[in-house]
Structures are given as C-alpha cells and as structure tokens.
Structure 1
Amino acid sequence: MSTSGPPTLQPQPPRPPAPRRPRRRAAAPALGIAVALVAGGLAAWELLTPPHDPEPPQVKSFHSRQDLDPDALTVMTPARGVAPGYVFLAVKRGPGQDGPMIVDDRGQPVWFHPVGGDKTATAVQVQRYRGRPVLIWWEGNTHLGHGHGEYVVMDARYREIARVRSVGTKLPDHHEFQLTPRGTALMPVYVERRADLRGVGQGRDGTIVESRIQEVDVATGRLLWEWRSADHLPVTEGMTGPKENKPHDYFHINSIDETPGGDLIVSARNMHAIYKIDRPSGRIAWKLGGKASDFEMGPGTRFAFQHDARLQPDGTLTLFDNQATPAKADESRGLQLRLDTAAMRATLVREWRHPERLLAGAECNLQVLPNGNVFVSWGPKERVSEFSRDGRLLFDLALPEGADTYQAFRFPWRGRPTTRPAVAAHRRAERRTTVWASWNGATHVRRWRVLAGDERDELRPIGRPVRRSGFETAVRVRTDARLVAVRAIGRDGRPLRTSRAIRPTGA
C-alpha cells in the first residue's frame, strides 16, 4: 500500500469570479406574427406579448453582486416546527450557476460560491476539523455516476483551508467525504480493475469498477489506510448486471460512516446492501440486505439502490431507500431500521415519504437532526424537505425544473466573511437614490445603514437603519452626495463593517 501523496494543505491564491452562465429565457407564446431577431437577442419580445402573470424567476440576480447568478428556489410548504439552522445544498443542471449554497427558510441565499467553468458541486455541509466547524464540499466533473474532482475545506470566514484529493491516479468521487477527529478524511474512489466475470455472464478477462475507501491525512496528503471492495465481496453478489461495452460497476459505494468504535458502515448501491467493515482488517463484519444478508429482513425493511446509510446514537440505522432505477416500488422513502445483532434481525422503526409520492432514481440523502426531525434531499425530483419524527411534512423547497441537488442538509452556521459588504446605487431625479446592500455569507447582519458624502472621509449616515431583507436589501434615500456606501449593523446594534464608497449611476 502506498503511504505518500501530494500535500493538500497549501495557501490558495484568490480566484477570479466565475463566468456567468447564459440565462435560459422562457419561450414567448405564439402570437401569429413573426418576431425579428436583432442584435442583443430577444429583448424586444416582451413588447409584443399580451399582458400575463409573470412566471417566478428561475435565477436570482443582484445589483450589488452582478457576478452571482444562483438558481432561484421556491418554498412549497412554509417552515413550521423545523430545527434551527440554515439549508445547505448545491444545485446543478439548473439555469443558474452551479456551486455550493446556503439558504434560509424562505429559500433566500445567505452564501453562494459559483464553481465556474464546466464544474459542478455536491456534498456541501458543515463538519469539524481540528475542533472547529468548517464548510466542506466536492467540486469537479461527473460521468456515468462517478465523480472526478476534489474536496474543499473552508473555515467560518470562508477562507480555504485545504483541497483534499485521493492518493494515486484517480481523483476522489463526489459521493462522500467524512472528516475524522484525527485530522483525516474518509472518501470513496472508483478504480477500474481486471476481474473474472464468468459468474455474471461475461468473460474470464473482464473489467470491473472497483469501489475503494481511502483515509488520507488532510494536512499532508499521506494515505493512511485503503479498502478495496473486490478483495472482500464477489461480483456475483451484485444486483445489477453488466452493461455492454462498459466496465461492470457491481458495487458502487455511495456513503461511508465511521462508528464510535472506529469501524465503518458502507452503502453499496448496486449491491442493494449495507456493510459493516472492521477496522483495520477490512473484513466484512456483517451484511444487511442484498443477496447474502446476515440479517433476517423483517416486514418493510427491504431496500434497493439506497444511499446515505448512517448509524444513529440510539443504535438504529437510517438510509434513503431509492427503490429505483429500475423501479422496484412506486415511491422512494427515508428509512429507519433497528438491527438486533444478537438475533440478527432487522425491523422497521419508521419511514418518511413525500406527499407527492416521489420516486428518485439517483442521488438523495437523509439527515437526522438534533431535535428528531429529518432532512431529506429528493435528488433529481427537485425537492428538499424536512419532516417531523412521525412523518409530518414541516418544510418543502422546490428547485427549478430540471435541476437537482445530490444532498441537502440543515446546520447551524455563523459565517463571518473577511470581505467587505458589497454596494450598488442608482440615482433618479430629485435626489431619489436607491442603494443595494449585500454581504455574501454574513449571518450576523440585522440592519443596513446608508452613508453619503462628497469625499470618502466625509461619509455620514443618512436616514434610519433598514432591516435586512434577504441576500440583497434595497434602501431608498434622498441625497445628492457624490458618494454613497453601506454599513452592516449586527444583532446587538453595533456597526460591523462598511463597504467601499461608490458613485451612484443615473442622474
């Protein structure tokens, strides 16, 4: 086993703003007349369209941060009885920019970080590194269900601490990343490997996609431990057959959870099974589900194509039961099982289903929250939901049509960016000036105050502070001063930080 790798903890230079993705414009209704395409696009089509109720925007845009175009989210069920904290997700394949995002219970962005280019992001969440909360996510490219990228670790001031890669020729997959109290990270890697596939109807000299687990030291990049699926589990236990002219992805690891004793709980989508792996030997301690389950599966406990298996503090096991693709049931569900390791029997504790009977053929996760609620991403079904312990829908958030987020989470978070607040302003006649204020990632802003003056050292407050009203707050004032700026006010009423001073556009 190799025990060396490239360092992952290194200073990161500032990055240029991500390129703006062209926005998708809804097609105009047929009018029985021709519309000429002119330079600048279809900007004039609205003049020819009869009045109608406008569709909600699919992309957010901001005067003060014109480099940011996150996808717009729609609240379908307003939050009630939800756990404290913000929603963490990474929308992809939508009309806006791809990237990790934090939103509030109104679906309004709190922080957004576009990844740029052809990259996408997943797994944005809060974990702990060296005793402190950090923000982590994966970014890279995906192909045929496998990811090729790297994991990013940021502190609460949105400063990059590390970029973590697997050791060897393959880049870490996007399904899972778990920081440990040892300062290490557990992550999956997919690697092609020669294998005898006669047991699944193929030749002796076949190729599989092997699932591996690597534990890597975050600070040094050194490989500390590796587990390989084909060394412990035969391809004949797979539940999906080989695909023509493609390596056989018989296992397909999609979650890794470390138990208090240091063993691992691993979900294998294409085995329809969950495994407990002994550390450090790597042997299989038990198998749950699939063709060779060590547990008797009680009524309602069978799952298929599952994701996100987690051992809970009460000893139960939670997972997202996709039941597709191909469909094995009419809908997906969140699942909680009790495992009797003496009698080797699994029993159903509870399940969570969406009222719209969603069947998600890929992705998805289920997070148990400290108050007993559960938070669920429905992946390609474009929904993110929070349920009570007994299954009541407490919150439901919709993504733009055609978009998805692999996972979604809820966490408390205190973001204190090192950057200054952003400002934009436009002046109309009679000194009427609109000032827009934002501060990407700041969670401690309660109000905004406008400053104005003819010189930077002469800025003075005008009007009263205005309550923050989302990612960007518009403040209307009357001033003919040459310069304006905004100052963030904290929850305790104290000033936090002031933007740069700018000249308003317009009159």
Structure 2
Amino acid sequence: MKCRSIGIIVLVALGVVCSSLKAFAQQNSIVSFFPTIEHLESNGAAEGYYFMGSKGLTATGASHYIAIIDNYGTPIFFRKMKKATSSVCLLPDGRIAYLNGVPRKLFILNDWLTPVETLSIEEVKPNGHDWDVDINGNVVLMGEVSSVKDMSQLIEGGNVQAEILDLVVQEFDRDFNLLHNWSSADHFDLFDGNDNSPYLDYTEEQLDYVHANAISIDTDTSYLISCRHMDEITKIDRRTGELIWRLGGKNNQFEFVNDELGFSHQHSVRALPNGHILLFDNGNLHAEKISSAVEYEIDEMNKTATLVKRFYRNPTVYSNHQGTTQRIHNGNTIINWGPYWPSLTEFNPDGSPALEWDFTKHSFCPRIEKYIWETKVFSSSSDSITFGTWESDTLTQSLWFKNNSPDSIQITTVESRTENFGINTMLPVLLVSGDSVKLDFWFNSGNSETGYFDDVLTIACDTEEQRIARQVKVNGRKSDNISPVAQLVSGQSNVALNEKIRIQLSEKIQLINGGELNYESIDAFVEVRKNNIAGELIPCNAVISADKTLVTIVPDEELKIGTVYFVQLKSGLSDFAGNELSVFTAQFSTTITSAGSNKNNAGLEVYPNPVKDRLMVTVSNESDGFTYQIINGNGAVVINDSVYGAMRYAEIDLSKLPGGIYLFIAHTTNNSYAKKIVKY
C-alpha cells in the first residue's frame, strides 16, 4: 500500500498503519513522536477522542506525551512531556487536567492548552494512581503516609520495624481550599489486606495493605475508593469520613447475585449515572487468570450486588496489574489493558468490539478515556464540507479558519486518510491573534468505480514540541450504477474452530432505505447455518467495520470439528448510490483435527496470555509429565515436545513464532488439556 500526500495524506487499513509523507507541509519533528497504532478492530467506534498520557516508553527515542487521538489513531492534540504522565481527563467546564511530575501534581490547562493551575495533596506523599472532580469543581486527590510498627508482636516472623502504608484522601474546593482529610488508619484494620495477595506479605519490611488505586466521586456526599490489596470497594461519606458500605474482601457486606466470580485486585472503580458501579477486574486470584470490566447494580438497602455484565475480550487478556475502564456517552465501554497487548478495546453494549488498538511497541498509558472535544485555539467556519457530484474535473470548496488565542499560530499540516481529498493552499499559513484565513480544499474521485466518498481532514498547527488540530468531515459523490460485490475472506476449508468469519464488500454499504449499518442493525442480515443452507441456525454476533466494507461474524459457541457451514448476507443492503447488494451465500468447512477444541482446562495454567516470547505452562493435576503441541490457526503443529518424569512445568520459547492465535494442547496418561493463546 502506498501513502500519497497533499499536505499530509495518510491511508489506514485494518491492521496497517502507513507512515506520513509531507508535500505542502512544514517539516516538524513532532510527527515522529506519535505512537504507531495498529488497528486490530475498527467497527464504528463511538464519536469522540481518546485522552491519554504515557507512563512507560518501549520504543527507542520515544518521548513521554499527553495526547488526544481520534478513532483512526490521528492525534488532534499532542505534546511532548519531560516526565511520565497519567490520568488525562476532561473537566466538566471543558478544560483538560492530568497528573505529572515527581512528586505527582494535578496540572490544569486553560482554553489555549497552557498550564495555568497546579494542585498537590498537602503534607503527604502523593498517590499518582487516580483523582476525580465533581460538577462543582471540587477535586479529590489520594496520598499515602507511613508509620513504623513492630509486627513481631502481631504475627510470627513479623518485622520489628515494619513500615505501614496508609491511604490519605483530601478534598479541595474549586479554589483549591482543603475541605476534608481522610485516613485509612482511622477506619481500616491492618489485617484487612488479603493474605493470599502476591503483593502483600505481613512479614516483610513494608506493608501496603490498602494499595488504593482508584477514586470516584459517587454523589454530592460520597465517593468510592478501590482498595486493591484488600479486594474491596469502599463507599465513604464525604462529610463525616464514615464508611457507608464495603463491597468485597474480608469485610464484604453484600450478597453477589448472578456472579460467583466476584472481583480480584481490581482497578478503576467508577460510579455510573444510573447508580451502578463499573470496575476493572484484574483477576489475580481467580482460578483462571482472566481480566474483564464488570458492572454491578448496587442495592444499598438490601445489600446486594447484581452482575449486570462482564466484558471479556476474545481471546481473553490477563492484566496482572494496571488497567482501567470507562462507560462513555453512547453506552460503550472502554478497557485499557494496562501495559499488555492489546492496548485498548472499546466494546459495544452487547460486548462486541467497536474498536481495538495496540501500541505496546511504542508506549504504555495507565488510563485512557474518551470524550467529545474540540480545540478552542482556532475555529473553522464549518465542521464539514459536501463537495457534490464529481463528473470529470476536481471539485473545490473553501473554509475560513480563525485564531482565537492570544498568540500567533501557524497552520502547517493537513492530513487525510484517503487519496480523494486534499488542500490546494500552500502551507504553512500564519495566523496572528484574532485573524482569519481562507483555505481551499479539493475532491477528486480518481479511478474509483464506487459512488460515495467520505473522509476527515485534520488541520494542524505542528511545532517541534506539540500539535494542536481540529477536524473537518468531507464527502463527495460520483455517478455509480455498479452493484457492490461480497466475498468470503476467512478461507473455505480447514478453518480453525475459533476463527472469525469475515465477508469483504467491494464498497461501502448501507441499509437499502438509506439507514446506517451498525453493530445492532447488521445482525438482522447475517445467517450462519450448519451442514446445509436450510440447516441448523448457529447463533452469532456480527459487526460492520467503520468504513462499512467488512462484516465480521463471531459464533456464540466454538465451531464443530469437520463440519460444513453456510454463511449468508440477506437482501436489503445497497451501496450509497442505491445499487442493491445481491443475496450472498458462501460455505466453508472446519478443520478435521481437534486443533480448536477446548474441552478440559482444569489443572492447566498457561501464562502470560497474551505472550511475547516465553510461555509458562503448569499441569497441576498430573505427576508423570506430559507431551504438548502448539498449533497455529491453520491447524499445523509448530511446536511438539515433552516434559518427562515427575515434572509438571514447562517454559516454552515462542520468540521465533509470528504473532497470531495458537492452540496449546497437552496430553497426559489420563487427560488431555487445551488452551487458546495469543502471541504478539
């Protein structure tokens, strides 16, 4: 794939990121510091932008940053930072705030994206995990204090001078006056910590028995804290400091309904507008180590916590630390998987993936959230351009851009994701404070036979240290009387049992009445049947890609070995010129081996999963060793080896295998075990 530039033209396909080329753009190094984002899924994510700041860097020469990035991975605000940054959020009044520096302070940016205020917790060591703000501008910050205790008097083997870490929460008003000061030492017992936690040993020199990692303002009179090493969510009265209730852990006051799993070593507790709570369940102490986002309906009167939904990735992810979740404006749920692959998943309400990114090869952001936002530094006369119908000549339209900031700026760069739109005006263009300038844009359908084109232009002010940009939606048409064509791209034989079924369209499609196809409406047009076209209907969930050209179908249950399946796209779909998509039917058959089955996992531990280089395997219920194979998605055995004698453990080198989905199978004298693994 080639990248063609007018200003900067960037083409992005699923799983592919093209490098930016510059034509009529000022050369600025800031672009080279952007994280390279791999798009694993792109199925029509919610409107808005991801707010993020780097805590860890994995790429050579990378710089810490704060960033606001669109669904396609294009930054509309990016600033190089000297130190690690976390918890970048949008305040109720539209300003941006984040934690930065050593020790951590809360920085607030004004409308021109300049830091104007800072706030730090008073007289104690700051806790940089989290903070929150209410609609009145009151801020809650976390910190910690330490004290020395002779633990030998309380526990055998205890340290005579153990350092005890306690949580402190301070609340400030919008003028940064300290209102309340709360300490866990006044309300928790030292032995409230989970004795089974891998991070807590009561005989060690330092005892972090609470390890608070999240705080969320619940109501005008309460807030929630996540106590990771206690496996507890605690609700606290903001006025009195008294504990209102305790969910999970040794002091649990609730009955869990429809949820035998609960949560373990959680992060990112959030109070939802409907009174529910949402949290990221790391799952450290679950029998099967899998991480998820969990929503509970809380009945404070009857003390019940009813599971509403648990969001798992498929295949699953285990984040033994870090991780956050957020419920956004349209009901989607975002999970940031911490430093693990993949970096981010946005789920539709039904649990299907709306978008998935990975940038672990560049950096790690401890908190990623999504908001509707646009810069106030400069504005445009419209946020969209409709070019009309192309016949033979390039079409042009103009927009005015105004500098609203007190300083001069330069528009240096225009980015597009396709080759059909660009800018005629020579860049850079200087804009002094209060001034306006007209920029001329073009549309050309090129050699395309399809009839509808849309894109987003990113108009940016790039310097050596930052980008400030705003986006303009563009669209145009071309006469088109050719119907779209569908093709099965998942393979027709020897299909893995856990493989997703993908149907590629030759052009963007919609409902024949002009309605939009999305994750909800596409299901009505998809059927998967077993053995023949009129056979057993297989329950499944379908999504349509963001560009409306790829349908992905995921059966509710794993496919059966050596079986023929028929997949169909039914009538009622068309392209954007009204040309109807004919009913599409295709068939495929699954592998005839057991390379997809997953019948018995009891006693099998496979970790980390996803895995980069070294896979650790334990078969705990056996005593005579085992043989094992690793099978790729095409059913081929890529590793075949044995563990002899009384050994129940293997460390397997996967560094030479390409990234992808594999199946680990172990055979013992009495049992067989199987587990899906992801190599990145």
**After TM superposition, is the score higher than 0.5?**
yes
Distance 1:421 1:163, change over 3 A: same
- 1:126 maps to 90
CA deviation string 1:283-337 (max 9, x = no partner): 111110001101123324510110111222222111110112x665321000011
RMSD: 3.4
Structure with bigger gyration radius: 2
- Answer whether contact 2:374 2:470 (CA < 8 A) is retained: no
Distance 2:361 2:442 in 1: 34
The aligned length equals 387
Distance 1:473 1:447, change over 3 A: farther
Q: CA deviation at 1:104?
A: 0.8
- Answer whether contact 1:275 1:288 (CA < 8 A) is retained: yes
Q: Indicate yes or no: 2:395 matched with 1:395.
A: no
- 1:165 maps to 120
- 1:414 maps to 374
Distance 1:414 1:60 in 2: 25
Distance 1:384 1:316 in 2: 23
- 2:364 maps to 404
CA deviation string 1:171-201 (max 9, x = no partner): x322112123443310110221234535455
- 1:138 maps to 99
- 1:214 maps to 170
- Answer whether contact 1:200 1:242 (CA < 8 A) is retained: no
Distance 1:342 1:355, change over 3 A: same
Q: CA deviation at 1:60?
A: 11
TM-score by length of 1: 0.69
Residue type of the alignment partner of 2:441: P
CA deviation string 1:217-261 (max 9, x = no partner): 453x43221111111001111013337654211001111112224
- Answer whether contact 1:421 1:438 (CA < 8 A) is retained: no
- 1:465 maps to 441
Q: Secondary structure at the match of 1:315?
A: coil
Q: Secondary structure at the match of 1:286?
A: strand
Q: Secondary structure at the match of 1:236?
A: helix
Paired-residue identity, %: 21
- Residue among 67, 90, 110 paired with 1:155: 110
- Residue among 118, 122, 137 paired with 1:183: 137
Q: Secondary structure at the match of 1:450?
A: coil
TM-score by length of 2: 0.52
Distance 1:489 1:375 in 2: 23
Distance 2:172 2:133 in 1: 10
Point out the structure with the larger strand share: 2
Q: Indicate yes or no: 2:39 matched with 1:75.
A: yes
- Answer whether contact 1:164 1:218 (CA < 8 A) is retained: no
Distance 2:21 2:227 in 1: 37
Distance 1:115 1:104 in 2: 20
CA deviation string 1:41-83 (max 9, x = no partner): xxxxxxxxxxxxxx96899999533246132212111141x22
Q: Indicate yes or no: 2:239 matched with 1:280.
A: yes
- Residue among 330, 347, 351 paired with 2:306: 347
Q: Indicate yes or no: 2:208 matched with 1:249.
A: yes
- Answer whether contact 1:192 1:247 (CA < 8 A) is retained: no
Residue type of the alignment partner of 1:161: V
- 2:50 maps to 87
Distance 2:322 2:149 in 1: 27
Q: CA deviation at 1:282?
A: 1.1
Gapped regions of structure 1 (runs ≥ 5):
1-54, 142-147, 424-435, 440-445, 475-487, 494-507
Residue type of the alignment partner of 2:98: W
- Answer whether contact 2:35 2:362 (CA < 8 A) is retained: no
Q: Secondary structure at the match of 2:68?
A: strand
- Answer whether contact 1:308 1:320 (CA < 8 A) is retained: yes
- Residue among 185, 192, 201 paired with 1:237: 192
- Answer whether contact 1:438 1:473 (CA < 8 A) is retained: no
Distance 2:292 2:410 in 1: 42
Q: Indicate yes or no: 2:20 matched with 1:65.
A: no
Distance 1:86 1:451, change over 3 A: closer
- Residue among 193, 198, 221 paired with 2:147: 193
Q: CA deviation at 1:374?
A: 0.7
Q: CA deviation at 1:134?
A: 1.1
- Answer whether contact 2:265 2:282 (CA < 8 A) is retained: yes
CA deviation string 1:430-482 (max 9, x = no partner): xxxxxx5269xxxxxx96722699xx9xxxx99953587557699xxxxxxxx
- Answer whether contact 2:133 2:217 (CA < 8 A) is retained: no
